[in-house]
Amino acid sequence: MSGLNEDRALADLRKLAMFGKVGRGVNRPALSDADIAGREWLCDRMRECGLEAGIDGVGTVYGRAPGAKATVLLGSHSDSVPMGGWLDGALGVIFALEVARARQARHPSGAVGIDVISFSDEEGTFLACLGSRAFCGLVSNDELASARSSSGEYLVERLDALGLAQRERTEFDPTRHRAYLEAHVEQGPKLIEAGVDIGVVTGIVGLRRFRVRFQGQADHAGTTPMAMRRDAAAAMYAFAVLVPEWLRTASSSDSVWNLGVVSVKPGAANVVASEVELVVEFRDVSQATMAQMEAAFAMLVAERNEIGGVSVHAEPIGAVEPTVMDDGLVTHLEAAAVAEGASRLRLQSGAGHDAMIVGRRAPAGMLFVPSIGGRSHDVTENTSEEDIRRGLRVYDRAVSSILESLDLAGPRVP
Amino acid sequence: MSGLNEDRALADLRKLAMFGKVGRGVNRPALSDADIAGREWLCDRMRECGLEAGIDGVGTVYGRAPGAKATVLLGSHSDSVPMGGWLDGALGVIFALEVARARQARHPSGAVGIDVISFSDEEGTFLACLGSRAFCGLVSNDELASARSSSGEYLVERLDALGLAQRERTEFDPTRHRAYLEAHVEQGPKLIEAGVDIGVVTGIVGLRRFRVRFQGQADHAGTTPMAMRRDAAAAMYAFAVLVPEWLRTASSSDSVWNLGVVSVKPGAANVVASEVELVVEFRDVSQATMAQMEAAFAMLVAERNEIGGVSVHAEPIGAVEPTVMDDGLVTHLEAAAVAEGASRLRLQSGAGHDAMIVGRRAPAGMLFVPSIGGRSHDVTENTSEEDIRRGLRVYDRAVSSILESLDLAGPRVP
């Protein structure tokens, strides 16, 4: 036996949920008093089991296995969105803590070990994935200096007020951190709808986001004949129904898109619309598919603009590249699920995670447990206790097999 | 000669434009100080030429031909939209004044004469077509009591402050007012685009306005597969492109529609829309066509609602019946245009006018002069001096022939 204690892990998960507790959920935005209190509590738990733990210069909690020369890095984040769920991030952090705790009890100073991390501000209160980006050296000083919360507070001021600004930042170490494994709630309905126990993530989708502007002319909607109009709203409706048609020709069966932001001006029932803005985003796990979708989208914009009357222009306002999860780690996770008698499904993550960032530096893998109703980023987010326990056992078993395969002298890929 | 003085009319039109002057336009909302000052100035001009004139209990200026037993009622309105054009309404009032002035000079106390009117609040600062509706007995005391401006001021308070509340209201008199003739700027591009001098209005469109609600479900736009979504925005786009297709099957070549108000909630790029509101309006001059369009629209709503996933419901939020202009008056206007050597076009009015209200009580007719660029409800609204002069001559000639055809003992239709 690995010494895993499911009850202890569940109890700690519930204790962490007391920091910023709101109903069944938590309100624990990054670097809030509740977030910092939760992180200090995490440090204490890590130290209790023998890890060298502290909060770093951006708010990330890092617990280091003393004596280890090669480690698997386990964790997630312990901040939440405002009025968020109790498991998003926290589940992965407590899974990591419990698995490390069990390992420390048996191998307190092994050359191969487990480091535990709770990244700062994954949810983007100041800067999305701040902790993992800082860890991977993927954030510039300019970004740090200009990062602000929606209430206008600067990140650097907040770090200073918390006494963290002068601390060092934990850094990714390629010779030490041989792999990163993150457990997380799915935040979507695929597992729960399919009745499957465990999701093995094969990749995290990339994203493209565009603001499309339609420029026409305002006219009296009673006196201007249909044929004389330059109706920006009509042009937008025609465009909006073509977007799925065009993207579908270029997409995979797992691609998703959304046209969820619309602004029509002047916005009067009896005035032909002069100006419309539409935000279009699309996501896929494959870089090649994303490139095809982007090309199809650009062709559609060009074609609609050529019709004339109403000009159509698209401005990119967001881009994230897809991240492929490590094949070896996928295999470890699937084997662990089989050994635990858990049904499993390979799937992609439609939401971003710290594994998306760390995956650019090290082999990364993710395990999902089902989300009831597919809900997340809401206090109603939940997962059954049975699914949490099973997820922890599969995660623990996967970590054990990864650690067994670690070759101290070999390449960093397990 | 009729004694018409084009220069005097143009001078008066420019004088009226000094009340509330803003750039090339006017800011003369109903019952504002500028509007009342303009109306007092109008009363003075009417009295000068021998009409019995005054401002009534709702702000309408009425100039009565003394001694006349049967009259043609001429006029329009002298209030404007905020920051409006100098001709919208004012042109018809000054044309009426000039034609009456010329008639009074030759027949100061004829049994057949001209009454002049400038209706109050056509533009709806407090209540659209207040003056003409009150004149025709088509406004209830409840409506008057609850009418408020967008700034929250009650109509009755404003009338009281102006000392008008206790005055009598001018009332339509079927034995006296044998016909109503209104000149107006087109407020649309048909005449100017066709290079035609005079528009002879055959009817004023009716209008139907609906608020269409799409109710779906908010979901994470990254993690929710396309097939599992209840996307209210996607349902709205599909609906919006079908509206013209369905209306076209039921409409005339002159029907118009507009989908110019859209609200998408929650309105985030990465959240599937849960709730959308779309305002749809359509207009036609024929009651039968309006009924067909309304039926087609209702069928479309029902069909889209049956698809399921997203519910679709339409709530009527506005209805105005079409008004047919009197055939005899159309003939008089066309004959007058021919006699003046003016090119002419029969057209419908896509905008509402006081003639739409008075037309329910008496034979009504309208003459349009071209609007440069089709612009209106804006300070840039304008008509060439040549077109104004020609319009006045045609209008005067039409009134003369109508007056000649008036049979004191006969039916009220000329």
pLDDT tens sequence across A339-350: 999 999 999 999
d(CA B366, CA B75): 10
Is the distance from CB of A258 to CB of A281 less than 8 angstroms? yes
Is the sign of the CA dihedral B58, B63, B65, B66 positive or negative?
Answer: positive
Q: What pLDDT score does B351 carry?
A: 92
Q: What does the block give as tokens for B408?
A: 């004191």
Model confidence pLDDT, tens digit, residues A84-104: 999 999 999 999 999 999 999
pLDDT, mean over chain A? 95
Q: Find the range with the poorest average confidence among A137-151, A329-343, B59-73.
A: A137-151
Cβ neighbours of B281 in A, within 8 Å: 221, 269-270
User: Which percentage of chain B shows pLDDT scores above 90?
Assistant: 89
Confidence band of B187 (pLDDT split at 50, 70, 90): very high
Determine the average pLDDT of the residues in A266-270. Answer: 88
DSSP code per residue over A318-378? EEE--EEPPHHHHHHHHHHHHHTT--EEEEEESS--HHHHHTTTS-EEEEEEPPGGG--SS
Using DSSP bridges, classify how beta strands B61-64 and B52-55 pair: parallel, antiparallel or unpaired: antiparallel
Q: What pLDDT score does A1 carry?
A: 52
Q: What is the ipTM of this complex?
A: 0.84
Model confidence pLDDT, tens digit, residues B275-310: 999 999 999 999 999 999 999 999 999 999 999 999
Cβ neighbours of B271 in A, within 8 Å: 258, 260
Cβ neighbours of B228 in A, within 8 Å: 189, 193, 374
- Collapsed DSSP state (helix, strand, coil) of residue B219: coil
- Collapsed DSSP state (helix, strand, coil) of residue B235: helix
Among A210, A217, A211, which Cα is nearest to A308's? A217
Is the distance from CB of B203 to CB of B95 less than 8 angstroms? no
Is the distance from CB of B232 to CB of B214 less than 8 angstroms? yes
Picking from B223, B241, B256, the nearest residue to A241 by CB comes out as: B241
Cβ neighbours of B318 in A, within 8 Å: 269
Confidence band of B268 (pLDDT split at 50, 70, 90): confident
- Collapsed DSSP state (helix, strand, coil) of residue B346: strand
d(CA B346, CA B329): 12
Determine the average pLDDT of the residues in B219-244. Answer: 95
Confidence band of A414 (pLDDT split at 50, 70, 90): very low
Contact between A281 and B221 using a beta-carbon 8 Å cutoff: yes
Q: Looking at B162-259, list the stretches that DSSP marks H as alpha helix, in order from N- to C-terminal side.
A: 190-194, 232-250
Q: Find the range with the poorest average confidence among A212-216, A368-372, B24-28, B377-381.
A: B377-381
d(CA B336, CA B330): 10
Is the distance from CB of A180 to CB of A323 less than 8 angstroms? no
Picking from B254, B269, B281, the nearest residue to A281 by CB comes out as: B269
pLDDT at B271 over 50: yes
Among A102, A11, A100, A88, which Cα is nearest to A53's? A100
A259 to chain B, closest Cα gap in Å:
7
Cβ neighbours of A205 in B, within 8 Å: 222
Q: What pLDDT score does B66 carry?
A: 95
Running DSSP on this structure, what letter comes out for residue B373?
Answer: G
d(CA A157, CA A61): 19
Paired residues of B119 in beta bridges: B77
Is the distance from CB of A234 to CB of A263 less than 8 angstroms? no
Among B369, B347, B90, B345, which Cα is nearest to B205's? B347
A223 to chain B, closest Cα gap in Å:
4
Contact between A219 and B374 using a beta-carbon 8 Å cutoff: yes
Among B31, B115, B130, B122, which Cα is nearest to B77's? B122
Is the distance from CB of A193 to CB of A296 less than 8 angstroms? no
Q: What pLDDT score does B414 carry?
A: 44
Contact between B188 and A224 using a beta-carbon 8 Å cutoff: yes
Among B241, B268, B297, which Cα is nearest to A244's? B241
